[in-house]
Structure formats: C-alpha cells, structure tokens
Structure 1
Amino acid sequence: MALEILTDRNISIEGYHSKNWDMFGQQNSGTPMAEMDYIVTVCDNAAGEACPIWPGHPVTHHWPFPDPAKFSGDRVSARQYFEKIFDMIIKKINDEISAGLTK
C-alpha cells in the first residue's frame, strides 16, 4: 500500500529501500562506518535499539509515527490511514527543513 501511495503521488522509489544499521558499517568490523549528517528513526523498534556511535556526531531524531502496517480494517480504510501517516511524515519533514534540521 505504501508503494501505491508513493506511485500515485509521483514519488520515484527507484534505488530506495528501508535500511538497517548494519548496512552502513559496524564498529570493530573492519568496515568503516558511514558518516552521516542526520539520522531519523520512525519505528519504535529502532528507537528502542542501541544506536551505533556514528562518526561526525550527526543530529539524531526519533519521529514516533504509528505503524500503518499494523492497521486492521478494510482496504479503503487502510489506504486512508496510510495516506494520513504519509501526510504526517511529509509535514514533519517540511517542518524540520523550515526549522533548519536542528536538535
């Protein structure tokens, strides 16, 4: 459903996917850690995990959005719920950009 909404709103998903910490290198693994400017987690599972210590001391945020995949109901209601969460995320991104993406 999320992919449908992105497609319907003309947002390309080519080359994008959800990533876990390990994709960016691990401390003491011999793989250099990627340097980031901002790190945003949106699911409560990630918020509860011990985060790596990132090089460069990036700004980190947790945005506790509801998980739309946990919605139970008919397809039309589920679609509306996904769109509501999508709009909340877009608003938060725009608000953060307007505020200068600070801590």
Structure 2
Amino acid sequence: MKKIYFLCTGNSCRSQMAEGYGKILLKGKYEVRSAGIEKHGMNPYAVKAMAEDGVDISKQMSKIIDPDYLKSADLVVTLCGDARDRCPALPPQTKSLHWPLIDPAQAQGTPEQKMVVFRQVRDEIKKLVAGLE
C-alpha cells in the first residue's frame, strides 16, 4: 500500500485534520500519517471542528517527523510554509505537494470566532484530501 505523510510545523491542527480525513477518504489506498517539525500537542479546536464533521481525531497524538516513514513515503504533503522550508530532503521517488493553508491556531477572538476559522480550514483540507483519491 502507498504511504502518505501530512506535515506542518507543530502537528497540532492542519496535519492532524488531514490525517483524520485521509484515514477515511483514502482508506485502502494509502497508509496515512501526520507529523510536525516540532511537537505542540493536539489543538482542542481542531478536535472539536473535526468532531462536528463526524471525524474523531481525539486519540491522535502530536508527533515529530519519523525519518524512516518519511523516506518510505510515496507522497509528502506540507500544509504550511515552515514545514515546506524545514522538511528534511526527500528521496527522488517521493512526490511532494504543498498546501499553503492559514494556521487556524493563530485565530483571534472569542471561542466561536476561532471555531469559524477552524471550520474554514477543516473544509478546505477535506476538499484537498478528497482530491488525492
């Protein structure tokens, strides 16, 4: 089975949401994992936004990049410029994509205003992951 790796800076929001959708939308086509350049823990707004769409990512853990999985991945998707710029070198056979998504963790305002941003990013990620089929 092919392997896909979703990467962002802290593996707390965007890459976790992509992993959640990937495990559902790409099931049977890809082994799906996510990681970060750093480990920031799971963002509760990301967990809540995904739960609203019926996807439970509450048991996922924030992880740093596994060099062995990275080397064996068929596709690496970076979800922020920092991950794209700081990602270790990829083998020549590994395809890479970059999705320049805003960081919902930087959203300001009330909890509901923050959720609006998380939902927008979630919906964009869902469309992009579905496009990988």
TM-score with structure 2 length normalisation? Answer: 0.57
Percent of aligned pairs with the same residue? Answer: 22
RMSD of Structure 2 on Structure 1 (CA): 2.3
With 78-87 and 10-19 compared, the bigger mean Cα shift is at 10-19
Return the index of the structure with the highest Cα Rg: 1
Stretches of structure 2 that go unaligned for 5 or more consecutive residues are 1-44
Q: Of 108, 114, 128, which aligns to 1:78? A: 114
* 1:22-79 residue CA offsets vs partner (Å, 9 max, x unmatched): x233xxxxxx96411111110221111153233x711111110000001111111110
Q: Does residue 4 in structure 1 map to residue 48 in structure 2?
A: yes
Alignment size in residue pairs = 89
Mapped contact 2:47–2:58 kept (Cα < 8 A) = no
Normalized per residue, the structure richer in strand is 2
Stretches of structure 1 that go unaligned for 5 or more consecutive residues are 26-31, 98-103
Offset, 1:16:
3.0
TM-score with structure 1 length normalisation? Answer: 0.71
Mapped contact 2:77–2:97 kept (Cα < 8 A) = yes
Q: Of 49, 52, 60, which aligns to 1:16? A: 60
Offset, 1:15:
5.3
Offset, 1:18:
4.0
Q: Does residue 91 in structure 1 map to residue 127 in structure 2?
A: yes
Higher RCO, 1 vs 2 (CA within 8 Å, ≥6 residues apart): 2
Q: Of 43, 54, 79, which aligns to 1:42? A: 79
CA–CA distance in structure 1, aligned partners of residues 132 and 90 of structure 2:
23
